[in-house]
Every structure is written in structure tokens, then in C-alpha cells.
Amino acid sequence: MNPRKKVDLKLIIVGALGVGKTSLLHQYVHKTFFEEYQTTLGASILSKIIILDDTTLKLQIWDTGGQERFRSMVSTFYKGSDGCILAFDVTDPESFEALDIWRDDVLAKIVPMEQSYPMVVLGNKIDLEDRKVPQEVAHEWCKEKDMPYFEVSAKNDINVVQAFEVLASRALLRYQGIAENHLADSIKLSPGQPRSKCC
């Protein structure tokens, strides 16, 4: 099949310090894992092209990092994103509890603010022994918020691709919805309506 439609999507990944955001991204984009990563400061962008149904998607994934005080700088990058990955570490309950704040922060920054903005939640590091956040608890929280939940391991490449692709397909649906609305609007508005005067 020769995919014809091409769409650019901007995705972001957020979550507490050290939950493995950069590891997840590198596993997804480069199929590699390193035990130790340098702290991510500010933001960096990774790109990946995937084919979904009959559409070529150019994903532009923004890796964000930094402690609390970097938040005001980093959050300016949420604007214009088409979807978000909320990541936490299943061995770190605080990182799970922080998801509420991360979610609200992202929803407050995307323009326009909308509840249908695609988000998926990733519980990372399921390969580790000392798991502290029970699967059911995470599931329940995500169900309440109507977000898909994935238990993943960046290290062992478990569920990573699936999680990113579910987000990508939801982001694409939303994108197409917006495109249709625009089309409908322009059809509705253009004929017969007096143009607002400018100049």
C-alpha cells in the first residue's frame, strides 16, 4: 500500500524526575536502552515516521525534563501539542501521585483547553523487583480520567511501541476532527456572509 496522506503531529512526554522519560523515548525511537542517562534539562525533540492505516505520520516528540523550577520554561512547549504521555515509575509512589499535577498543568497550557485532548499513562520500570504502585490502583485512576493505561518497561521493551501508537492514533483522530470542523466552518461561513472588514 502506498500511503498518501501525510500528517505532522507534536507529542510531549511529561512526568516526575527520573521516571524514565528519556529512556522510553529512546527505546521507542532508536530501539536502544542505556542503564544510566544524563539528566534532561529543558527540552529536546526526537522525530519518528510511522504509518498508521493509510496515513504517514511524522511524529515530533518533545522530551521535557528538569526539576520544579524549570517547569515555567518547559511548559511553554506544551502549547500546540496534539497529545501527551504521562509517565510515572511503578517503584516510586510519589511519581504516581504527581500525575494529577502534571495532567492539570498540561491541560492548562494547551490552547484551546479541552478535555478530549489525547493522553496516555505509562507506568514504567515494571522490570524492577520492588514495585510499589499496584497495577489496580493505577488502572482505577486512569479509568476515572478516561485515559488508556500501559504497564511498560523501557529496559525490556515491553509495551512501549503499543503505548506510543495508541497515543499517535488518538492524536490523529483528534487532528482529523479539527480539520473537518475547520472545513465545515469555512463552508458554513464563506458564501453569502459579509466578510468582516479589514483595512
Partner 1 sequence: MDPAERAQAARARVPRIDPYGFERPEDFDYAAYEEFFSTYLVILTKRAIKWSKLLKGSGGVRKSVTDLNRTFPDNVMFRKTADPCLQKTLYNVLLAYGLHNQDVGYCQGMNFIAGYLILITKNEEESFWLLDALVGRILPDYYSPAMLGLKTDQEVLAELVRMKLPAVAALMDGHGVLWTLLVSRWFICLFVDILPVETVLRIWDCLFNEGSKIIFRVALTLIKQHQEFILEASSVPDICDKFKQITKGDFVTECHTFMQKIFSEPGSLSMATITRLRESCRAALQAQS
Q: Which residues bind partner 1 (CB under 8 A)?
A: 17-18, 34-39, 41-45, 47, 60, 66-70, 72-73, 76-77
The total of other beta-carbon atoms located within 10 Å of residue 11's CB is 23
Measured CA to CA, the distance from residue 184 to residue 157 in angstroms comes to: 42
Residue 77 or 96 having the CB closest to partner 1: 77
CB of 143 to partner 1, least distance (A): 31
List of E strands, the chain: 5-15, 43-52, 55-64, 83-89, 119-124, 149-151
Specify whether the CB–CB gap between 64 and 87 falls below 8 A: no
Nearer to partner 1, 36 or 129 (CB): 36
Q: Considering beta carbons, is residue 84 or 138 the nearer one to partner 1?
A: 84
Provide, rounded to whole angstroms, the least separation between the CB of residue 115 and partner 1.
Answer: 26
| Minimum separation from the CB atom of position 44 to partner 1 (A) | 7
